[in-house]
Structures are given as C-alpha cells and as structure tokens.
Amino acid sequence: MHGDAVCADVERAAFRKRVVDEYLGLSNPRRDGRSAIITAGAPGAGKSGLLAEQVPDLAEYRVLDADIVKEYLIKQALEDGIYDDLLNYPLADGDPLAPRELAPLVHNESVRLIDQIRRICGSLRENIVIEGTLIWPGQGPTLFAELAEDDYASVCVFGMEVDKKVAHEQALSRWWTGRKQWTDGDHPLGGRFAPPAVIETCYTGGDLSRCAQNALHVIDLAQSGEIPKVRVTIFRRSSTGAIDTFIDRHYQR
C-alpha cells in the first residue's frame, strides 16, 4: 500500500506540473510593463465584464484565475472516474450534477496551483490580472508584498460593488444558463455554481462590501512607497446599466 500511495503522489505531482505548464502556455503577456491588476467583489458582481470595459490592453495581461485551473482538475477527475457516483446524482430539475458543479471539491488544489503560477509570473515581471474577490483581509497585504518583492511598478485594484440581492441573482443566472447549456448538450461542463453562503460572507450590512473594504486597505499599504504607483477604484453599475466610478484613490511615489 505504501508503494501504491507513493506512485499516486508522483503521478499527481506530474499532473500538477502539466497543469502549470499548460496554463503558462495559454497566453504571452508583456514582461516590460511590470503592471498588475487585482479584482475585488462578490461572486456574481460582474468583475469579468468590468475588466473587459476598463482595461483596453487586457490582451497584454496574463489572467490568473483559479476557476480556469478548476477546469483542468475537473476534466482529469472525469477521466479518472473518481466522481462518477456524484455525477449520477439527480438535481430537482431531473438532470444529474454537471461537472462544473463539482468545483468546490477541487477548490483547495486549484488555489494552491494558481498561487504557484502567480509566483512564477511575478518572478518574470509579467503583466498580470489577479482574479479574486478580496474577501479575506489577509489577501490584499499578501499580494501587495509579493508584487513589491517582484519590483512591480504599477498596481491597480478594481472593485465591483453590487447589492447583495443583485450578486445572488447574477450568480444564480450565470450558473443556470451554463447548466441549461449542458443539459441541452451545448457545453461539456455546465455552469459555475457559487454557494449562496459565500456571497453572504462578502457583505457586512454596511455601505461597502468586505471586498471593497479590503480593496481600499491597499491604499494604506501603498503609503510604504514600496510600489511606485497604486490605484484603487471601486465601481458601481448605474440605473442605466453603465459602470460608474464610485470611489477612486491614488498613490504615487
């Protein structure tokens, strides 16, 4: 049994290396800009749409997103058949679980891998987008310290604020649209499900979400001068549907 376990560990390590290598082969970002963008906002807030609208040169950045890594892990799990019993479990609509709905089971491994990929990209001074919520208070300081150590010249934090109800509705719509595509045979993995409890954790009942509060804390970190240019912008969608600047704070050394 010990030998089998060692063999399994070696095989998994080799698979993880393939994931890292394949992820790094997805794009060819700039390496002379030393620019990083960090996203903040609840699941379902609309951060991907915000990036597309606010970053005209987005193609020059490597997007670092744990959800992309999850897809590698889920596809491998499908090949290995380790979740076959779960994938036969029917939901209320009568159809079984879709592969992407197993994403919480590979969350921890995906985070470890995207952290590894981020450190590689930082050491190369690539232009990067760090996709995330900034829901945890320690995440902003950790990322800031990493970027300062890697000699980044510019860091922008883009936060997308929506009401809690809207976040729930948009996350549910995103999941259900993907699920319907899967049940109709138009998507191999289905929709991405965001547990409602995770969205609830993003909100405190105050004027700003936890994500926005943690984003604004980055300006306090910037006062150290370790990174020459830091900007934190919090956006909100207006009644007309336009994305408007809600809070905009700068630091320049």
In the chain, what are the domains?
2-252 (3.40.50.300)
> Which amino acid, 215?
A
pLDDT-based confidence at residue 2 (cuts at 50, 70, 90): low
pTM: 0.93
**Euclidean distance between CA atoms 195 and 136, whole angstroms:** 17
Query: How does pLDDT run across 131-151, given as a tens digit for each residue?
Result: 999 999 999 999 999 999 999
The residue written with tokens 């990083």 in the block is 36
Per the CB < 8 A criterion, the answer to whether 199 and 168 are in contact is: yes
Range with lowest mean pLDDT among 1-10, 76-85, 119-128, 167-176? 1-10
| Residue 228 in tokens | 């020459």
Q: Give the mean model confidence (pLDDT) for residues 25-42.
A: 96
More confident residue, 240 or 225: 225
| Residue 29 in tokens | 């970002």
**Cα-based angle 43, 102, 128 (whole degrees, multiple of 5):** 45
DSSP state of 229: E
